[in-house]
Amino acid sequence: MREMPETRLEILGVGPQKTATSWLAEVLAPTGALCFPSGVKETFFWDRHFDRGIDWYMAHFNGHGRRIEFGPSYFHSAEVVERLHAHNPDLKVIVTLRDPAARSWSLYQHHLRKGRVGDSFEEADVRIPEIRQASRYSLHVPRWQKVFGREQVLVLLQDEVQQDPGAVLARVGRFIGEPLETDSLDLGRQVNAAGHPPSRALASVSTRAAEILRNLGLYGAVNVAKSAGLKRIVYGGGTRGADAPPDDLRAQLVDEFEADIAFVEHLLGIDLGHWRKVGSA
């Protein structure tokens, strides 16, 4: 059964992960026109916690404005798309994409930093399939477009965010029907940039503890720990992760994702030759 408008999610950023979703969420939050989940960026309701019911989900939205969530784990799930359409067929969906090989590597580095995986990219991909799977844009983007209609799915590139963040935010404003004032916003800020921790074991324990607290709905405890400097204790003094994969792995990934690069080129009518580059070539 479809929910009434007052109990519906109206706007959703689906990522995938490591495509500037955190930046977009943080620059949209201060505008005051939108209502985000309280205390947490991602509820994981539509994929992991759907059995908790819509009332549990809607209890996260206790502010004013149109309800919006950024859930990059939703991007590659066909089941999530169907659940969301049943909930609100008028949902506005924001997709953000980047060089798929770079995205996969960045997500691997993220999980390595969190202590969830080891040094082998291939073993990490087996353990966490979305490292590769969510870069298959030619599979997942058409699904969102087919179910919701192309006019309800906005596709942005992380390249555009880096080149002209103000123009990107203006496009988002037009898409969701909200005039967004950007003059007072820090559009150039970097979000979620961090190195690898000195101790992966400590990072793993910290990550698992935070996940348990979030699953229990104790978002405040996680936020207090961050404010108290726990994140600095765990990750301070670490090393910076590799910005790019080794050339041989990048060449392999670029080849694997050729159909996805070509798909985005055709969809947006642009040349993405730089997504195919390996090394300094």
- How confident is the model at residue 105, as a pLDDT? 97
Show the low-confidence residues of the chain (pLDDT under 70). 1-6, 181-242, 281
- How confident is the model at residue 202, as a pLDDT? 54
Do the beta carbons of residue 54 and residue 114 sit within 8 Å?
A: no
Look up residue 118 and give its two tokens.
Answer: 């080891």
Angle value at C-alpha 194, between 193 and 197, nearest 5 degrees: 165
DSSP code, position 157: E
Q: List the domains of the chain with CATH numbers.
A: 9-196+239-276 (3.40.50.300)
Secondary structure (DSSP) of 63-117: SSSEEEEE-GGGTT-HHHHHHHHHH-TT-EEEEEE--HHHHHHHHHHHHHHTTSS
Residues ≥6 apart with Cβ < 8 Å to 35: 61, 63, 64, 65, 66, 67, 68
- How confident is the model at residue 211, as a pLDDT? 54
